[in-house]
Structure 1
Amino acid sequence: MALHMIKLCVGAASVEELLEWQRTREPDGPWIMRTRQTPKRTAELIDGGSLYRVFKGVILCRQAILAVATVGEGGSARCEVTLDPEPVRVAPTPRRAFQGWRYLDPKDAPSDLPDEAFGDIPTELARQLREVGAW
């Protein structure tokens, strides 16, 4: 059964900013999220799991987890999570701040939005409309 991971997206305020950062950082390389701790439930994460990203207190997108690997040894060991380069937008869901990453049970994961859900509306405007209950 798939298991998801959730992590704060620090330094990017929107999905568009995250994509732009990746394009300038490693335009042709794999999309790798690096973290200190290697998950113990790796097999469940790569069995259909995704990394859900929290922007300014709201989950906005997910990326499928393709691989999880530990690089280095001892105190310098780190974890590299290889992700699908195309984020999938999800129903904006509030999430309180936390450090590092956490497991996310599939029953608690926000549902995917259809591609046309945003249309030409900027992400920030869509978030504000949802907050006030207008959309």
Structure 2
Amino acid sequence: MDNYVNLIKLSVGSESVDTTMAWQDSYRQRFADGLPRHVTRMWPKREAEILNGGSIYWVIKGVIQCRQRILRLDEVIGDDGIRRCAIVLDPKLHRTQNALKRPFQGWRYLKPEDTPADLPKNREQDDALPDDLNRALAEIGVL
């Protein structure tokens, strides 16, 4: 049995892995460490398992398409005084095999055995497929 767990999250507003990367690159400049992060209201109860090698898997346009390793969880207090969790991420996005995912709110835990595999190194720079073709291939388990 694996001793880590992943998270899965919708990348709302992203059109592709490239637009997710571009948004993160511009946003992470706001922080002294220069690392991208996602701020959420809920603190994961399985923090130790996440920090033991977990990644966040991004759902873009209804398809899991990439992941990022989770480096740490930081406490953030908003202007409203509410405690939040900043999921601090490795800047490198790893493209994954495509897997369909229905919409959901917030983030969810994702067991290692339920995660799509990373694309082979020689395919990471492949041009993105059109959305309809990408979805059709994911539906039949190709990619």
TM-score range, shorter chain: 0.7 to 0.9
- Secondary structure, in 3 states, of the residue corresponding to 1:116? helix
Q: Give how far 1:84 is off.
A: 0.6
Is 1:57 aligned with 2:59?
no
Q: Which residue of 2 aligns with 1:92?
A: 98
- Secondary structure, in 3 states, of the residue corresponding to 2:85? strand
Q: Which residue of 2 aligns with 1:45?
A: 50
Cα-to-partner distance string for 1:72-122 (whole Å, 9 max, x where unaligned): 399611100111100001100000000000000111011111122255432
- What one-letter code is carried by the residue in structure 1 that aligns with 2:137? R
What percentage of residue pairs aligned between the two structures are identical? 41
Q: Which residue of 1 aligns with 2:117?
A: 111
Counting only pairs closer than 5 Å after superposition, residues 62-77 of structure 1 correspond to structure 2 as: 62-72=67-77, 76-77=82-83
Instruction: Please list every run of 5 or more consecutive structure 2 residues that lacks an aligned counterpart in the other structure.
Output: none
How many corresponding residue pairs?
135
| Residues 81 and 11 of structure 1, relative CA distance in 2, 3 Å threshold | same
Cα RMSD (Å) of the superposition? 2.4
Q: TM-score, normalised by structure 2?
A: 0.83
Distance 1:88 1:15 in 2: 9
Q: Give how far 1:128 is off.
A: 5.3
- Secondary structure, in 3 states, of the residue corresponding to 2:21? helix
